[in-house]
């Protein structure tokens, strides 16, 4: 099969009405943090048990088209010996893989970060592909302050994302391009829009320079909202309106799908915001969906508590969030459905 056909097929399986992506690709340090909140020690075995629970939840494929896995998960098996990426694929869900190697401070750009992992990426991708991965994810991180992100930070991060995306496409892997402007800080919603606009403008410019085919990639952006420490919250209507304004200004119509990250929103907020976005989207050229980590997993993690006897109730909690976000894909969610 040509790489072009592979990319086409993966997009067709990944960007689907009513469905979204489950991010289950936390690095080991992040997983240790999540487990610490429920007093579970993070080991290869506890991560295997937890991720097996998530990936074997009955009914997942009704609302989930893709799952982003962490490298370790690709080689792990369920209790009855099935490889986890195979368990995913057998449900008709596309397995994906986080391929970046986390952030470091960017030299001469105080306060800005840059993501590692381009060296040897083509070889790693080829081996992930052999293990069943059909799409990849790479995250660049931007902090908002009075002077961050700097122009150097914006340009350098854009270049790295575009190089990653071009390498993915050259071997038939669909890239998810994730520029995350963090919620941390006390900035206004307008400042979030200004920064996100500059970030995405630079990224699409870089993607063009590197001849990335927008038809065969997915954007995973933050929503436009005030900082966590800003003195008042924005309504889902404000967030949806500002986010749609920003996306219409930045994202070409050739892009098939936009799958938001949740970034520290509560599960209910992330669902409500996605819902209004779809109500207000009108004739937007892209599917507006989710690629949530915490906003899908948090209730399940807390229901589980590291105990086998809680497996079913944890799976039930995951399925509930997934179903509600599936409804939000059509703008059919309402808070009464939470009960």
Comparison of 256 and 263: residue with beta carbon closer to ligand 13P: 263
Comparison of 262 and 311: residue with beta carbon closer to ligand 13P: 262
| Residue 25 and residue 70 in contact, taking contact as beta carbons nearer than 8 Å | yes
Name the residue number minimizing CB distance to ligand 13P: 293
CB of 260 to ligand 13P, least distance (A): 8
CB of 247 to ligand 13P, least distance (A): 18
Comparison of 211 and 258: residue with beta carbon closer to ligand 13P: 258
For residues 156 and 112, give the distance between their C-alpha atoms in angstroms, rounded to a whole number. Answer: 10
Comparison of 23 and 300: residue with beta carbon closer to ligand 13P: 23
CB of 25 to ligand 13P, least distance (A): 6
Comparison of 329 and 339: residue with beta carbon closer to ligand 13P: 329
Token pair belonging to 52: 């097996």
CB of 271 to ligand 13P, least distance (A): 12
| Interacting residues of 8 by C-beta distance below 8 A, sequence separation 6+ | 216
| Residue 81 and residue 65 in contact, taking contact as beta carbons nearer than 8 Å | no
CA-to-CA separations, 84 to 28, 67, 79, 305, in angstroms, rounded: 17, 11, 10, 21
Out of 6, 159, 178, 287, the active site residue is 178
Comparison of 25 and 112: residue with beta carbon closer to ligand 13P: 25
Pairing of strands 113-115, 103-105: antiparallel
For residues 16 and 154, give the distance between their C-alpha atoms in angstroms, rounded to a whole number. Answer: 31
Out of 71, 140, 220, 287, the active site residue is 220
- Which runs of consecutive H residues, i.e. helices, occur in the chain? 3-14, 28-36, 44-55, 71-74, 84-90, 121-130, 151-170, 189-209, 236-250, 267-280, 294-304, 311-329
Angle between helix axes 267-280 and 294-304 (nearest 10 degrees) is: 150
| Interacting residues of 90 by C-beta distance below 8 A, sequence separation 6+ | none
CB of 268 to ligand 13P, least distance (A): 14
Whether cis (ω within 30° of 0) applies to the bond prior to 149 is yes
CB of 282 to ligand 13P, least distance (A): 26
* Whether 178 is catalytic: yes
* Whether 338 is catalytic: no
| Interacting residues of 41 by C-beta distance below 8 A, sequence separation 6+ | 35
Pairing of strands 94-98, 64-69: parallel
Q: Which residues bind ligand 13P (CB under 6 A)?
A: 23, 25, 139, 178, 261-263, 292-295
Which residues does the annotation mark as catalytic?
178, 220
């Amino acid at each position: 099969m040509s790489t072009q056909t592979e990319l086409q097929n993966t997009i067709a399986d990944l960007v689907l009405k009513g469905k979204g992506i489950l991010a289950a690709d936390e690095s080991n340090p992040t997983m240790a943090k999540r487990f610490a909140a429920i007093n579970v020690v993070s080991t290869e075995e506890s991560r295997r048990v937890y991720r097996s629970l998530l990936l074997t939840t009955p009914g997942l494929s009704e609302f989930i088209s893709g799952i982003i896995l962490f490298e370790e998960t690709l080689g792990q098996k369920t209790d009855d010996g099935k490889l986890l990426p195979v368990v995913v694929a057998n449900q008709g869900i596309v397995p994906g893989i986080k391929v970046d190697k986390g952030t470091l401070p960017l030299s001469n750009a105080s306060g800005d970060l840059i993501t590692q992992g381009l060296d040897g990426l083509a070889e790693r991708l080829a081996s992930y592909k052999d293990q069943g991965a059909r799409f990849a994810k790479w995250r660049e991180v931007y902090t908002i302050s009075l002077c961050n992100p700097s122009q150097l930070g914006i340009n350098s991060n854009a270049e790295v994302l575009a190089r990653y995306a071009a390498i993915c496409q050259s071997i038939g892997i669909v890239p998810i391009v994730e520029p995350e402007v963090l919620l941390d800080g006390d900035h206004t919603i307008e400042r979030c829009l200004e920064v996100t606009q500059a970030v995405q403008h630079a990224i699409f410019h870089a993607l063009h320079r590197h001849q990335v085919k927008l038809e065969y990639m997915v954007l995973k952006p933050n929503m436009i909202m005030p900082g966590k420490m800003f003195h008042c919250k924005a309504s889902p209507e404000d967030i949806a309106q500002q986010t749609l304004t920003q996306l219409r200004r930045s994202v070409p119509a050739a892009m098939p799908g936009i799958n938001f990250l949740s970034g520290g929103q509560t599960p209910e907020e992330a669902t409500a915001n996605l819902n209004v976005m779809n109500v207000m989207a009108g004739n937007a050229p892209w599917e507006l969906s989710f690629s949530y980590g915490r906003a899908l997993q948090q209730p399940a993690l807390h229901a589980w508590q590291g105990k086998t006897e809680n497996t079913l109730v944890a799976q039930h909690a995951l399925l509930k969030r997934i179903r509600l976000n599936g409804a939000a894909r059509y703008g059919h969610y309402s808070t009464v459905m939470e009960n």
